[in-house]
């Protein structure tokens, strides 16, 4: 080994110093808001704190870890969890920006601008959207899931560009954690599989690609299942998975159903339950019949009605019905029975509401595309259309100029948006909380395409 090999390269030293500066900015930013806001309790927070059986296991376990560490400090463990979430958010934003800075050889001011995008999205959530807190300060799955998703995407990009096995392993690990945190994050598994196939087909190794994809899928899904079963066994004494996944579909079924659809339900007791829930929703105008005219009116009504149908009406009555049945009394059995009731409603009515459900899905999908890049109001709808057109034009320019790395990153971002919005639109309404995952990636991709386009233009002058 030459002595010169041991001497750090000047460019590496500059990179390391600049990377430290970016990390410091990110940490100071998120920790400041952690100090300012503390732990923010939201509507869904108690279900995670209380380790409700309807929730995926990882985030309740995350909170339980801090509760165990700070068991003699009252509710301080929630504040400690928020500081951990804030550090994770800072690391994710920095890691993505630092990687892109080096991979695309960005100028330092431009790299700082890339770093400011996820910070700016958090700022908009805190102030422009009037949430009252950043997601990193909230006791919600988004407190860790948004950051883990950015890290997942960072390592996915690295895997596509370098084919490093370490990157594939980290992508798989993050996918496992994200699926165990939110079912919505199954999109990570799809993105990972698409990337694996893309790389191996490109190398004319389809069999190896198929085996790699199957291995990753089996390990991720098996790990997620084992964690779920083990978590509930330790907590509730039974090897069972979390419950209530079907309630999202059942909510859409009620929203699109007609009263006469009860005739499709064979069991009389469940038919009576359906009618009881339906009549309450109808009397309060929660159903699609009262959505009004026009796309914006339909989308707004669905979003406003969703929780009223599910949380305020359907879920309590289904749980009460399960309890009154006398068939079971423990938490696990009651929730399993509630799931069976909702499954029965879905099987009976959903096939007859397909057209209405497709319309709701289409409305939701368009709404999700908007809330991924902006808010859903009259002015920003036009802005959203314009910014997607700009994005598409810049992507075409990258392909035209054979900037395949940039085009690949931008295309992967676009695929992620379509998958996420598609999954969300199918089972729930497209509020920003569910589409925020891709907002920073969209604008980062846009900036990188602008950067590469300007470089190409400068080269031809």
User: What is the spatial distance between Cα 282 and Cα 423, in angstroms, rounded to a whole number?
Assistant: 27
Name which residue leads in pLDDT, 36 or 127: 36
Confidence (pLDDT) at 328: 64
User: Measured at the alpha carbon of residue 197, what is the angle toward residues 213 and 220, in degrees to the nearest 5?
Assistant: 25
Confidence (pLDDT) at 1: 43
User: What is the spatial distance between Cα 78 and Cα 318, in angstroms, rounded to a whole number?
Assistant: 32
Q: What is the pTM of this model?
A: 0.94
Q: Give me the mean pLDDT over the 85-95 stretch.
A: 98
Q: What is the pLDDT of residues 179-189, one digit of tens each?
A: 999 999 999 99
Confidence (pLDDT) at 377: 83
Query: Over 60: is that where the pLDDT of 274 sits?
Result: yes
232 within a domain of the structure (yes/no): no
Confidence (pLDDT) at 152: 98
Q: Give me the mean pLDDT over the 232-246 stretch.
A: 92
Query: Over 60: is that where the pLDDT of 275 sits?
Result: yes
Asked if residues 86 and 137 have their Cβ atoms less than 8 Å apart, the reply is yes
Dihedral angle, C-alpha 90, 146, 416, 302, nearest 10 °? -140
Query: Over 70: is that where the pLDDT of 86 sits?
Result: yes
29 within a domain of the structure (yes/no): no
Q: Give me the mean pLDDT over the 122-126 stretch.
A: 89
Asked if residues 177 and 410 have their Cβ atoms less than 8 Å apart, the reply is no
Confidence (pLDDT) at 122: 93
Confidence (pLDDT) at 376: 86
128 within a domain of the structure (yes/no): no
Q: Give me the mean pLDDT over the 399-424 stretch.
A: 95
- Give the mean pLDDT of the chain: 92
Query: Over 60: is that where the pLDDT of 3 sits?
Result: no
Q: Into how many domains does the chain fold?
A: 1
208 Cβ contact list (under 8 Å, min separation 6): 200
220 within a domain of the structure (yes/no): no
Q: Give me the mean pLDDT over the 22-41 stretch.
A: 96
What percentage of the chain exceeds 90 in pLDDT?
A: 82
Query: Over 90: is that where the pLDDT of 357 sits?
Result: yes
Query: Over 50: is that where the pLDDT of 6 sits?
Result: no
pLDDT band at residue 4, thresholds of 50, 70 and 90?
A: very low
Confidence (pLDDT) at 388: 98
Confidence (pLDDT) at 206: 87
Q: What is the pLDDT of residues 44-75, one digit of tens each?
A: 999 999 999 999 999 999 999 999 999 989 89
Q: What is the 3-state secondary structure (H, E, C) of 322-356?
A: HHHCCCCCCHHHHHHHHHHHHHHHHHHHHHHHHHH
Please give the residue range of the domain that contains residue 292.
247-361
pLDDT band at residue 11, thresholds of 50, 70 and 90?
A: low
Distances (CA, A) of 290 to 256, 287, 400, 431: 11, 6, 48, 20
User: What is the spatial distance between Cα 341 and Cα 343, in angstroms, rounded to a whole number?
Assistant: 5
98 within a domain of the structure (yes/no): no
Name which residue leads in pLDDT, 330 or 143: 143
349 within a domain of the structure (yes/no): yes
Query: Over 70: is that where the pLDDT of 118 sits?
Result: yes
Name which residue leads in pLDDT, 405 or 325: 405
Q: What is the pLDDT of residues 301-337, one digit of tens each?
A: 999 999 999 999 999 999 999 988 876 678 898 999 9
258 within a domain of the structure (yes/no): yes
Q: Give me the mean pLDDT over the 223-239 stretch.
A: 96
SS3 40: strand
Closest by CA position to 214, among listed 172, 274, 270, 261: 172
User: What is the spatial distance between Cα 243 and Cα 202, in angstroms, rounded to a whole number?
Assistant: 41
Confidence (pLDDT) at 438: 97
Asked if residues 125 and 434 have their Cβ atoms less than 8 Å apart, the reply is no
417 within a domain of the structure (yes/no): no
């Amino acid at each position: 080994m030459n002595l010169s090999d041991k001497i750090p390269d000047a460019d590496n030293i500059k990179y390391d110093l600049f990377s430290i500066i970016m990390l410091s900015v990110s940490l100071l930013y998120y920790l400041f808001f952690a100090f300012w806001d503390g732990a923010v309790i939201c509507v869904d927070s108690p279900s995670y704190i209380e380790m409700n059986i309807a929730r995926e296991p990882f985030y309740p376990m995350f909170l339980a870890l801090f509760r165990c560490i700070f068991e003699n400090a009252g509710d301080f463990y929630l504040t400690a969890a928020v500081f951990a979430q804030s550090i994770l958010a800072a690391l994710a934003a920095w890691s993505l920006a630092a990687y892109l800075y080096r991979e695309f050889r960005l100028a330092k001011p431009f790299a700082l601008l890339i770093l400011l995008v996820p910070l700016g999205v958090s700022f908009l959530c805190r102030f422009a959207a009037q949430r009252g807190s950043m997601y990193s300060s909230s006791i919600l799955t988004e407190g860790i899931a948004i950051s883990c998703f950015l890290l997942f995407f960072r390592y996915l990009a690295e895997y596509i560009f370098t084919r490093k096995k370490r990157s594939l392993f980290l992508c798989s690990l993050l996918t496992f954690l994200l699926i165990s945190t939110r079912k919505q994050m199954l999109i990570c598994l799809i993105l990972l599989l698409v990337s694996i196939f893309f790389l191996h087909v490109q190398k004319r190794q389809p069999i190896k690609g198929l085996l790699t994809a199957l291995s990753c899928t089996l390990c991720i899904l098996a790990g997620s299942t084992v964690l779920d079963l083990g978590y509930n066994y330790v907590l509730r004494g039974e090897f069972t998975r979390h419950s209530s996944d079907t309630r999202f579909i059942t909510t859409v079924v009620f929203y699109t159903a007609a009263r006469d659809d009860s005739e499709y339900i064979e069991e009389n007791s469940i038919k009576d339950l359906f009618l009881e829930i339906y009549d309450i929703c109808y009397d309060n105008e929660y159903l699609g019949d009262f959505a009004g005219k026009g796309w914006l009116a339909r989308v707004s009504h669905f979003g406003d009605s969703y929780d009223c149908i599910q949380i305020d009406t359907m879920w309590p009555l289904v749980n009460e019905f399960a309890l009154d049945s006398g068939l079971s009394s423990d938490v696990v059995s009651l929730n399993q029975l509630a799931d069976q009731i909702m499954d029965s409603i879905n099987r009976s009515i959903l096939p007859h509401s397909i057209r209405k459900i497709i319309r709701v899905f289409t409305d939701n999908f368009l709404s999700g595309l908007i809330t991924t890049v902006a808010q859903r109001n009259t002015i920003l709808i036009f802005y959203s259309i314009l910014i997607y057109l700009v994005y598409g034009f810049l992507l075409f320019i990258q392909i035209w100029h054979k900037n395949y790395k940039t085009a690949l990153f931008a295309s992967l971002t676009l695929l992620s948006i379509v998958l996420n919005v598609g999954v969300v639109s199918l089972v729930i309404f497209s509020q920003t909380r569910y589409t925020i995952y891709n907002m920073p990636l969209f604008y980062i991709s846009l900036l990188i395409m602008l950067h590469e386009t300007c470089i190409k233009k400068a080269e031809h002058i």
